[in-house]
Chains A and B, each alone.
Chain A
């Protein structure tokens, strides 16, 4: 069918789209990943955008990126380095060249490679002619010009017309990856539903890009990534923020306690608020508060009144909420706090990922103030852990902090859609009206949870608050021994949750030379690195923690069976420090990274190999 080209079948491909933040990079990326999912590839994506909404055009600071990793084999990360780079301008090329594989294919919009543009990007000479791209396959496409001449007939304004050029890129990729244009057309019809002119124009540009790629002789090789063996079922592409929002909705439905989210916009957590704001048809209330404190305290109020109270934030917001988390601890009300971590301290790196809020989540409050801490480890399982956070919060009457991060929040993967009926039951400790035996701080002896009675219920009037409460009666109490009993009880209540959560799982054998320990969002890179080394015959296993406080009860048993343990995390060693305090009998090696970037599989393998070789 295709003249002069050969089709190479690949197990996996990483494509990086990069351009100005107004170039429609995120849209092209989503379109490419959705069409990949449609034809059955496994996938993971990661957008990488600047903190500024529209940074100066053509500069490195303004480069917006979107990386897609598609596979016939299982895909666990968006990929270390790209096989294909689409660079809409010299800045996009310059910013991404170091993340390219040797011999990668680079598609550039040659119309933007003039004197002015490459100088703006910090090049001294034209990078297309200075030899710096030697060894790469460079496709110099006049994307802007050909797009303009294609859309002229549709009479769009200049700005809208310019925005369609991302479809030229899409068209070229459809050809490069041997895909049917029909899938791309369907995507556009869905995306621009109701705007017929826009759909027509975009489809025309999509075809133009495809035809251009087919016509020129520059592309000698095209690729095909056969469908993955994901198993049968219904799948969708989902990112961590949407998954977390939906997990809360599922928990609300399952428990019969409708959701109330009190929240304040903050990168990279805002999407949770936005997503839930659209969910009034599921009886969810979102309250965009005047600040982080009002966000959480309104959620505590809603919990007191019988809803599932939740709040979403990032590190700086968690700091502001810490006093209120203490209020939820002492009033023993259910509350889910989702912290989508970003680079800190202070404003730090708002759009970049990090795992540096762990100690804040564990300890960042005044008083003896124990909290349940969970961490999601893939974009899709943000659903499961948001659900579990809500389940534990309601069944054990405690605040639960769920740690996500910028990488999980914005990254997406293919997710096998679960059925709500298969999710574990949630049974909050509700009280019947007029239960004469009700006392606010009477507890279920098994899990030490108090019972949840709320305003509006007959015969259960009671008062709670931030002052220390007498055991059982809940009256205000300054009694010294009562305070100690209550402090111990609150701690014991959280520790007992270890008996209500799953055992820690291992990837690999139960014994070996090296146990890799990770937690939260680093799972994809760690499991890929560990599996690669296992295939090479190395005695290495992975324990990726989702339950941080309390730790799963088999943690010590797992640790005891390895010669060495290395704790890998995107911070200076917070989980390692925590483990040293909990299980001091082991020696914990560390691998840490604080660059606002996820781990690369290659750097992990290199580090593990060094340790494995040491005696």
Chain B
């Protein structure tokens, strides 16, 4: 998808901040930061109206590295801080930066509730499947059986898939991208910014120190075309080095087929509809895992539904129009009063 660069009056320079970015060299965070700086000018949003909010963890240092308004909050609570900011002033473009520990563990409750409310906030979930800032414990997204500092004999827990949780929480926008594909990140971020409602973008991020190459099978140059499927609304779900593999649905399951084999033609391949009100396919797409399926990338779901603060502010406007005390003096004198 092409960008509309003509409206951009700002440049990435406008969002640059003096001072060092303190992520490890090779950390996926650098690439995400750079993609965001390129995307923000293209959203056309005034720089004063951009707010980055974060929780705790490596990813959550993000607000200190970008010249916007920023709030570095509490572990897991960025979603509710961001909700307060957005409801207080809906004109703001509010971004939450979070990690897999921050959002899926300690912030799990707030995560599902912001999605269910559909407050117009963009969430960038850096999923490196490990606790980095505390130096290498397993997180809720760490693959089962992984040996980490806190699971010397392998984890016993089934990992969360953020997309799966997002669908369960009635999320209206879910996209997945990877930290080594700048173009894909930019396209996905701008779609997230445009979506009205809570946008969840999961970024498969590499932690060079504690979980290096955890996403290698998905992101490496050699494998990515066969192991990723980049979904675009209205386009057939085709992938592979030779663009000859695709998805069809048989019964309640997707099946990977090869175009030209067993009579399968391009027309048999499913066309991606990100805007479907029904989220069953989005749920299935978000759950696709290697080795049976390619991993779904791009905007998996983008459904326009009622936005929390739009309804809230229309209730406020109606209340202000429809009478009731106009100020506190009138309020104090309303109802039962007694003149003595």
Residues of A within 8 A of B (CB): 34, 37-38, 40, 190, 227-228, 230-237, 246, 249-250, 253, 260, 262, 279-283, 285, 287, 289-291, 293-295, 297-307, 309, 323-324, 327, 331, 414, 417-421, 454-467, 475-476
Contact = CB atoms under 8 A, between A and B. Distances in A.
B48 A281 contact: no
A294 B109 CA distance: 9
Contacts, number: 199
A456 B92 contact: yes
Contacts of B50: 455
Contacts of B336: 34, 37, 190, 236-237
Interface in B311-340: 312, 315-316, 318-320, 322-329, 331-333, 335-340
B328 A457 contact: no
B89 A305 contact: yes
Secondary structure of the A side of the interface? mixed
Contacts of B56: 466
Contacts of B85: 301-302, 304-305, 455
A299 B84 contact: yes
Contacts of B337: 234-236, 417
A301 B80 contact: yes
Contacts of A279: 331
A458 B48 contact: yes
B70 interface: yes
A457 B49 CA distance: 8
B322 to A, nearest CB: 8
Nearest to A285: B87
B332 to A, nearest CB: 5
Contact of A38 (B83, B88, B331, B338): B338
A412 B331 CA distance: 18
Contacts of B69: 454-455, 461-463
Contact of A455 (B48, B109, B327, B331): B48
B320 A283 contact: yes
Given A300-B84, A306-B88, A227 B49 contact: no
Contacts of B68: 461
A109 B197 CA distance: 58
Contact of A301 (B88, B320, B326, B338): B88
Interface of B: 19, 47-51, 53-54, 56, 63-64, 67-74, 77, 79-89, 91-92, 109-110, 113, 312, 315-316, 318-320, 322-329, 331-333, 335-340
Nearest to B15: A461
A291 B325 CA distance: 31
A385 B304 CA distance: 44
Nearest to B329: A420
A75 to B, nearest CB: 14
A260 B203 CA distance: 33
B339 A302 contact: no
Given A459-B48, A465-B63, A420 B328 contact: yes
A210 to B, nearest CB: 22
Given A298-B83, A298-B84, 11 more contacts: A231-B340, A236-B336, A237-B338, A253-B328, A260-B88, A280-B318, A282-B328, A300-B73, A301-B80, A304-B81, A461-B47
Contacts of A236: 332, 335-338
27 contacts: A235-B337, A235-B340, A236-B336, A236-B337, A237-B336, A250-B328, A262-B84, A281-B319, A281-B323, A282-B327, A285-B316, A287-B83, A293-B74, A294-B110, A295-B80, A298-B81, A302-B85, A304-B81, A324-B77, A327-B73, A414-B338, A417-B332, A420-B332, A461-B47, A461-B67, A462-B69, A464-B71
Most buried by A among B47, B50, B332, B338: B338
Most buried by A among B53, B88, B318: B88
A285 B82 contact: no
A287 B324 CA distance: 21
A421 B327 CA distance: 12
Nearest to B116: A290
B340 A40 contact: yes
Nearest to A467: B72
B155 to A, nearest CB: 27
